Structure 1
Amino acid sequence: MTISLQHNDVNFVAYVAYNFLQVSDIILLRFNNTLQEYGNETILTYNHDKRAWTESGGMETQEPALFRQVAYKLRNVFAERSKMAHRKNA
């Protein structure tokens, strides 16, 4: 799966590595170009305490607009993971 992103007026493609057959706590994004402080790839992990996805380099706080794009593009994956977490805690 690929997603298109825009950051500082530059278009990027991120290749999404995720096990779509089994709900996972990890998503790897590999960018087609170097994305400043994030390099060519970054890891998203599901935080069970916060019940939210976070990025290994702090993208959600340092580049919130970029993280919102990623979250929007991966909203179905995020939603499925969140549903599974709620089922486990119920």
Structure 2
Amino acid sequence: MIGCRVLGHRYRFRAVDAELRWYCERGCGAGASKRYPTAELAARYATALDREDRAALGERAPLLGLLPLRLWRSLGRKRQGSRSPTARS
């Protein structure tokens, strides 16, 4: 799938007995599995790995995502500074 080639796989994890299984949520067919000694251990890994970090995205926004906003604000400050000579004190 082109989404996986461009953005990377979006893996989902689940435990089935003592086996940890993962697959791509986008349906490209990528995935695998791994056996653990106990079902509790497999469930623990599945819970830890199967989470979305979108909730904290605003708190730790990516630099490239903010770059256009930073440039826009910088240009706005420069325009305001060139219009009024008293702005540069």
Q: TM-score, normalised by structure 1?
A: 0.28
Structure with bigger gyration radius: 2
Q: TM-score, normalised by structure 2?
A: 0.28
More helix by share: 2
